[in-house]
């Protein structure tokens, strides 16, 4: 049975003792794989508690690597969740506030 997880839950698992990553909205517990990872521990530690899709795809992992990854899957993000969505919305709100402020200053003068 696959768990449905929030990005907040994933973000809590960001160290050597409990290391979860997200790839294409699937959540993987790769804690036990740290010492076996061919690229060393650093790439996994850098992605701990985050969406690692881009990093995973950019490296160009083999079919064997993708097969190995499957055994570490523990769940999926709840639909509509993403590990960066709150930051994205905060930045959009900030940008909108700046635009409104500039427009107000220009037209209020």
pLDDT digits (tens, 9 = 90+) for 23-63: 999 999 999 999 999 999 999 999 999 999 999 999 889 99
Q: Quick one: pLDDT at residue 91?
A: 55
CB 43 within 8 A of CB 19: no
Residue 63: helix, strand or coil by DSSP?
Answer: helix
Q: In degrees, to the nearest 5, what angle opens at C-alpha 87 toward C-alphas 2 and 96?
A: 140
Measured CA to CA, the distance from residue 51 to residue 107 in angstroms comes to 42
User: What pLDDT score does 109 carry?
Assistant: 72
**Contact, 22 vs 83, CB < 8 A?**
yes
Cα dihedral 24/30/35/36 (nearest 10): -60
What would be the CATH architecture of the domain defined by 3-82?
Answer: Roll (3.10)
Higher pLDDT, 6 or 109: 6
pTM over 0.85, yes/no: no
> What CA–CA distance (Å, rounded) separates 94 from 72?
38
Of 102, 96, 88, 92, which is closest to residue 51 (Cα–Cα)?
88
pLDDT at 106: 75
């Amino acid at each position: 049975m696959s768990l449905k997880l929030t990005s907040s839950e994933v973000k809590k698992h960001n160290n050597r003792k409990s290391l979860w990553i997200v790839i294409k909205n699937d959540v993987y517990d790769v804690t036990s794989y740290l010492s076996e990872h061919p690229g060393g521990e650093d790439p996994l530690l850098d992605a701990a508690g985050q969406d690692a899709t881009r990093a995973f795809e950019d490296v160009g992992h083999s079919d064997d690597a993708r097969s190995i990854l499957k055994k570490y899957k523990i769940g999926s993000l709840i639909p509509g969740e993403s590990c960066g969505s709150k930051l994205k919305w905060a930045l959009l709100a900030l940008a909108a506030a700046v635009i409104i402020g500039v427009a107000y200053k220009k037209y209020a003068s």
